[in-house]
Amino acid sequence: IKEKLLKYPATVTPEAKNTMDSLNLQAASIKSIIEEADIEFSNSAVHKKPCPEYVLRNTNHDYAVDYIRFSLCDSTSQLLRVTGKKRF
């Protein structure tokens, strides 16, 4: 899954773009997060049609991101949501 997310061109939803901007994240940062992330299959919609959705939990503490959600089609992907870390 992660290999496909890194290989296929990704579009970004306006919601995800706004969060990326507020967290000062660039596309290269998202790539780094994907490379080290754990896929949360229990929170993903792997049987969603036409494109399954996957939730990835960030394990790279350099970024203020908890989760990212992608849809993954045959040869494209879309970054649907970026969830920033909760600040207390």
The pLDDT of residue 81 is above 90? yes
Check residue 48 and report its DSSP letter.
-
**What confidence tier does 88 reach under pLDDT thresholds 50, 70, 90?**
very low
The pLDDT of residue 37 is above 80? yes
End-to-end Cα separation, the chain, in angstroms = 33
| pTM for this model (two decimals) | 0.90
* pLDDT tens, position by position, 53-78: 999 999 988 889 999 999 999 899 99
Contact call for residues 66 and 84 (beta carbons, < 8 A)? yes
Q: 81: burial class by Cβ within 10 Å (0-12, 13-18, 19+)?
A: middle
* pLDDT tens, position by position, 2-36: 999 999 888 999 999 999 999 999 989 999 999 99
Half-sphere exposure of 40 (CA within 13 A, CB side): 12
